[in-house]
């Protein structure tokens, strides 16, 4: 069905502020009910020919409309956080929803649309997989289908799908160290012997004992992990990060991003309190703060918590994110090498996408930015072109 004239009128109302909230809700409902409407919306915003006499939206108008939507502070237009609506729509609707599902922004306006070339093969998204290295050096491959019990000394290791749980006998003093690793394109969950819950993002690891003894609970991590630490005031919990940073906690929820290819090690506190230490310098975080550790420790007072936690909630959140950061996230989740060919201009992206999209579908969400992409080597390399 042709909704172009209707969409045109709704966009004019959004841009002009004429009953903006109602126009927004009507547009959102239209896009949800008819995937063809997303294609027609894209054609309008790109200024492509359409049947009938419709106003032509220049890219400057598109920028202005997006800014208006982003500035609106009403619950009805909040971008969805933990709910996944994408699987119920087509790929186009899943990625290009002005009405609060996915937005992307570009500066300056490009001369031509992006092209995604997938002549060889598309790339499937990452999934639930990891390896567990036991104390004797043996390696156990884990995926979403496992349902078993492993025994290591007096400790029982239960796997139920994408989650491991450790149960040690009371009074157990024999300590074994295990390492749980996720590959690029993998994620996994873990419950430690003290009840602490751990989520591992792609290309991450945690080294931990099969039972906690002594005066503290010490684990070592790399990559990105989210932890919900079991309260045990007499035995503080400490995380050693990349042999550089120490994070000490009691009972708390926090996210650690410590990828080697990022510019800093970021600790974001959701609940409780943590002390971040590096080279004798220390900072105590309160909920809603983030410590960024590079040469020094700096405190971010109001980080974007939704963006920090997007990976755990099954999303990419590209709110105010530069091109290379977008590509680093895609590289880790789709297990691809990203290379840049020619003078690729700087771009700033806005929007959310489900991590259950294929790579070609995800790249389609970046169309309109003037950046071209080519998938090569049987889906192992993504070439970014100007």
Can you tell me the distance from the alpha carbon of 98 to that of 126, in angstroms, rounded to the nearest whole number?
A: 26
φ and ψ at residue 106, rounded to 5 degrees: -135, 145
Can you tell me the distance from the alpha carbon of 267 to that of 185, in angstroms, rounded to the nearest whole number?
A: 22
Query: Closest Cα partner for 83 from 256, 364, 314, 269?
Result: 314
Secondary structure of residue 280 in the 3-state scheme: coil
Could you tell me which residues are beta bridge partners of residue 291? 267, 299
Each residue's pLDDT tens digit, 309-335: 999 999 999 888 899 999 999 999 999
For residues 226 and 258, is the Cβ–Cβ distance under 8 A?
A: no
CA angle 158, 162, 164 (to 5 degrees): 30
Predicted pLDDT of residue 346 = 79
For residues 197 and 228, is the Cβ–Cβ distance under 8 A?
A: yes
- HSE-CB at 254 with a 13 A cutoff on CA atoms is 31
Average the pLDDT over 231-236 and give the result: 88
116-123+313-385 CATH choice from 3.40.50.300, 3.40.50.10490, 1.50.10.20, 3.55.50.30: 3.55.50.30
- Which residues make up the CATH 3.55.50.30 domain(s) of the chain? 116-123+313-385
Can you tell me the distance from the alpha carbon of 302 to that of 298, in angstroms, rounded to the nearest whole number?
A: 13
Can you spell out the DSSP letters for 79-108?
PPSS---GGGS-HHHHH--TTTT-----SS
Can you tell me the distance from the alpha carbon of 255 to that of 267, in angstroms, rounded to the nearest whole number?
A: 6
Can you tell me the distance from the alpha carbon of 49 to that of 36, in angstroms, rounded to the nearest whole number?
A: 16
Can you tell me the distance from the alpha carbon of 316 to that of 330, in angstroms, rounded to the nearest whole number?
A: 9
Predicted pLDDT of residue 8 = 77
pLDDT higher than threshold 80 for residue 340? yes
Predicted pLDDT of residue 126 = 95
Domain 127-307: which topology?
Jelly Rolls (2.60.120)
- Which residues make up the CATH 2.60.120.1440 domain(s) of the chain? 127-307
| Confidence label for 201 from pLDDT (cuts 50, 70 and 90) | very high
Alpha helices (H) along the chain: 4-16, 20-33, 36-45, 59-71, 91-95, 305-308, 323-334, 359-364
Query: Closest Cα partner for 72 from 1, 17, 143?
Result: 17
pTM of the predicted model over 0.75: no
| Confidence label for 367 from pLDDT (cuts 50, 70 and 90) | low
Each residue's pLDDT tens digit, 236-284: 999 999 888 999 997 799 999 999 999 999 999 999 999 999 999 999 9
Can you tell me the distance from the alpha carbon of 248 to that of 29, in angstroms, rounded to the nearest whole number?
A: 47
Can you tell me the distance from the alpha carbon of 71 to that of 318, in angstroms, rounded to the nearest whole number?
A: 16
Can you tell me the distance from the alpha carbon of 229 to that of 216, in angstroms, rounded to the nearest whole number?
A: 13
Query: Closest Cα partner for 126 from 319, 330, 380, 327?
Result: 330
pLDDT higher than threshold 80 for residue 353? yes
Q: Of all residues in the chain, what percent are helix, strand and coil, respectively (each to 5)?
A: 20, 35, 45
φ and ψ at residue 62, rounded to 5 degrees: -60, -45
Of 32-36, 71-75, 215-219, 262-266, the poorest mean pLDDT is in 71-75
For residues 137 and 179, is the Cβ–Cβ distance under 8 A?
A: no
Query: Closest Cα partner for 346 from 329, 324, 326, 361?
Result: 324
Question: Encoding tokens for residue 234?
Answer: 């007499």
Question: Encoding tokens for residue 30?
Answer: 């239209």
């Amino acid at each position: 069905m042709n909704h172009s004239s209707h969409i045109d009128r709704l966009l004019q109302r959004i841009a002009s502020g004429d009953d903006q909230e109602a126009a927004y809700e009507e547009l959102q409902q239209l896009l949800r009910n008819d995937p063809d409407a997303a294609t027609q919306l894209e054609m309008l915003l790109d200024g492509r020919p359409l049947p009938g006499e419709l106003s032509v939206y220049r890219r400057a108008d598109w920028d202005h409309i997006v800014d208006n939507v982003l500035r609106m502070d009403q619950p009805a237009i909040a971008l969805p956080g933990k709910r996944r609506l994408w699987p119920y729509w087509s790929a186009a609707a899943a990625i290009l929803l002005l009405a609060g599902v996915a937005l992307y922004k570009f500066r300056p306006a490009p001369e031509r649309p992006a092209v995604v070339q997938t002549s060889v093969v598309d790339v499937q998204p990452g999934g639930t997989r990891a390896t567990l290295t036991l104390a004797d050096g043996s390696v156990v491959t884990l995926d979403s289908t496992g349902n078993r019990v492993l025994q290591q000394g007096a400790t029982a290791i239960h796997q139920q799908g994408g989650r491991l749980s450790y149960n040690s006998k009371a009074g157990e003093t024999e300590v074994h160290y295990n390492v749980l690793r996720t590959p690029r394109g993998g994620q996994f969950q873990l419950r430690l012997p003290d009840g602490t819950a751990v989520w591992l993002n792609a290309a991450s690891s945690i080294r931990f004992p099969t039972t906690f003894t002594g005066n503290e609970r010490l684990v070592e991590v790399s990559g990105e992990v989210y932890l919900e630490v079991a309260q045990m005031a007499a035995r503080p919990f400490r995380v050693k990060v990349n042999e550089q940073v120490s994070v000490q906690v009691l009972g708390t929820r926090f996210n650690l991003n410590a990828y080697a290819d990022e510019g800093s090690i970021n600790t974001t506190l959701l609940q409780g309190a943590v002390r971040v230490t590096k080279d004798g310098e220390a900072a105590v975080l309160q909920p809603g703060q983030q410590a960024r550790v590079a040469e020094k420790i700096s405190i971010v007072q109001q980080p974007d918590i939704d963006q920090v936690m997007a990976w755990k909630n099954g999303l990419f959140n590209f709110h105010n994110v530069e091109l290379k950061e977008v590509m680093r996230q895609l590289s880790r989740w789709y297990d691809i090498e990203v290379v840049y060919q020619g003078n690729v201009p700087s771009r700033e992206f806005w929007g959310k996408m489900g991590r259950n999209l294929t790579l070609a579908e995800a790249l389609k969400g970046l169309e309109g930015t003037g950046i071209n992409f080519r998938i090569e080597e049987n889906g192992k390399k993504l070439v970014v072109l100007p």
